[in-house]
Copies of this chain bind each other. A is one copy, B any other.
Amino acid sequence: MRTYPSQNPAGTLTVDTGRGVTAPRGFVAGATTAGFKASGTPDLALVANEGPHHAVAAVYTTNRVSAAPVQWSKATTADGRAAAVVLNSGGANACTGPQGFQAAHRTAELVGEALGIGAGDVVVCSTGLIGVQLPMDVMERGIPAVVRALADDDAAGAAAAQAIMTTDTVAKQASYVRDGWTVGGMAKGAGMLAPGLATMLVVLTTDADMSSDALQWALDDAVKLTFNRTDSDGCMSTNDTVVLLGSGASGIKPDEFEFSQAVTAVCHSLAQQLITDAEGASHDIEITTVNAQTEKQAEDVSRTVARSNLFKTAIFGNDPNWGRVLSAVGTTDARFDADRLDVTINGVMVCRNGMIGDPREGVDLAADRKVTVLIDLKAGDADATVWTNDLTHDYVEENSAYSS
């Protein structure tokens, strides 16, 4: 039985999952039940940056069919400045044409009027069913209510995290405190996680005094190693957005590397919470490829295995089926010699040099939700980890019954 260190890209930083976007100073959050969702649960959230600075960085879906709020928000954050993020569940406002873009624009205007800021400083995020226009009468009534709900305490942050849920079963928050400055965040998304994000909305906040460029560098690094390597079902959404707001309220300018590590730690925690809550999954799977020629090849191998439906169903059946791992690895262009591949599942080398490993050591996948797969390409010294889930009856059930 071999053991490997944690694949947490942020190392050993300790994250608090009990606090979110209001953990840093300078931020207020709120939520309300506007009426977008038939279920009658909260469906409108707002996060506002009270300054003194209003820096912003953002990463959006690379899906070329992008939703109206993504198109709006890309334009508003291009100048590195934003003061609020408004998010609704109960409707994606995607594939809705000019009327949909107008709805996103009007939403930003309503928030701007209520907060006394410009519409161009309001980021808009939506999640829910594609192809349906947002009911703007609901939005008109909802925005004053969510503005009235704004507060700077933990309960307000938690309420916002709750209001953005769709098929999520739990709200996702994380925060990290260091030397007088803090990074906080909330996320929604379950099931449609994918490459380049995926029906995932994430709002991050910090009171560190960073320029929008420094925020963007830190965010790009963090997203690359966390959300972009979280691949539940290989599908990419039209609405994915990750926004990082900087208030500068701590008055502290942290070291850029330390700040980047903090953002990565919060993103890693949120990404792990997303995987754990993915639709219908019974196993969380961590696939690490080591000794690849390049990091890109390592990531490609891990991701290809993560997307193999045959592998994912085997794990659901608690079958440590290394043949399906090798079969997936063989479809990549990564450098390796098929006769030298090793595969280790939950610490047991089930495949050694492309053949069966030590069959005397059993691998009991039923005992634990977590499954770790380590693929040794023996072709270099680069590595990469991708996180995914097993493919289960409940995944099929939720995604065949829930229109999204």
Name A's B-contacting residues (CB within 8 A).
62-66, 92, 94-97, 129-132, 192, 233-238, 307-310, 313-314, 316-317, 319, 321-324, 326-332, 336, 338-339, 341, 351, 353-356, 391-393, 395-397, 399-401, 403-404
**Bound-state Cα–Cα, A180 to B192, Å:** 55
Q: Known: A64-B338, A396-B316. Contact between A233 and B309, CB under 8 A?
A: yes
Residue in contact with A129 in the complex, picked from B62, B66, B323, B338, CB distance below 8 Å: B323
Cross-chain contact A235 with B95 (CB below 8 angstroms): no
Task: Give the one of A129, A355, A399 with max B CB within 10 A.
Answer: A399
| Minimal Cβ-Cβ distance residue in B for A195 | B331
| Minimal Cβ-Cβ distance residue in B for A315 | B400
Cross-chain contact B95 with A317 (CB below 8 angstroms): no
Cross-chain contact A403 with B330 (CB below 8 angstroms): no
Cross-chain contact B65 with A95 (CB below 8 angstroms): no
Cross-chain contact A317 with B404 (CB below 8 angstroms): no
| Minimal Cβ-Cβ distance residue in B for A318 | B400
> What are the residues of chain B within 8 A of A323 when measuring CB–CB?
92, 94-95, 129-131, 238, 404
Q: Known: A393-B396, A397-B393. Contact between A351 and B131, CB under 8 A?
A: yes
**Bound-state Cα–Cα, A139 to B203, Å:** 62
Q: A238-B323, A313-B396 are in contact. List 5 more A-B contacts (CB 8 A).
A: A63-B330, A94-B323, A236-B327, A314-B403, A323-B404
Task: Give the one of A129, A235, A322 with max B CB within 10 A.
Answer: A235
> What are the residues of chain B within 8 A of A353 when measuring CB–CB?
97
Cross-chain contact B95 with A401 (CB below 8 angstroms): no
Q: Known: A351-B95, A396-B316. Contact between A130 and B309, CB under 8 A?
A: no
**Bound-state Cα–Cα, A62 to B235, Å:** 25
Residue in contact with A309 in the complex, picked from B64, B96, B235, B355, CB distance below 8 Å: B235
Cross-chain contact A237 with B131 (CB below 8 angstroms): no
> What are the residues of chain B within 8 A of A307 when measuring CB–CB?
234
> What are the residues of chain B within 8 A of A397 when measuring CB–CB?
393
Cross-chain contact A403 with B321 (CB below 8 angstroms): yes
> What are the residues of chain B within 8 A of A132 when measuring CB–CB?
356
Residue in contact with A329 in the complex, picked from B65, B324, B401, CB distance below 8 Å: B65
Cross-chain contact B356 with A313 (CB below 8 angstroms): no
Cross-chain contact B236 with A355 (CB below 8 angstroms): no
**Bound-state Cα–Cα, A308 to B326, Å:** 22
Residue in contact with A313 in the complex, picked from B92, B236, B314, B395, CB distance below 8 Å: B395
**Bound-state Cα–Cα, A395 to B397, Å:** 12
Cross-chain contact A131 with B319 (CB below 8 angstroms): no
Cross-chain contact A65 with B327 (CB below 8 angstroms): yes
| Minimal Cβ-Cβ distance residue in B for A323 | B130
Q: Known: A131-B356, A328-B235, A354-B97. Contact between A313 and B65, CB under 8 A?
A: no
Residue in contact with A399 in the complex, picked from B63, B66, B310, CB distance below 8 Å: B310
> What are the residues of chain B within 8 A of A391 when measuring CB–CB?
309, 396
> What are the residues of chain B within 8 A of A233 when measuring CB–CB?
309-310
Task: Give the one of A63, A308, A351 with max B CB within 10 A.
Answer: A63
Residue in contact with A330 in the complex, picked from B236, B326, B328, CB distance below 8 Å: B236
In the assembled complex, the CB of A135 is this many whole angstroms from the nearest CB of chain B, namely 15
> What are the residues of chain B within 8 A of A314 when measuring CB–CB?
399-400, 403
**Bound-state Cα–Cα, A209 to B225, Å:** 58
In the assembled complex, the CB of A173 is this many whole angstroms from the nearest CB of chain B, namely 26
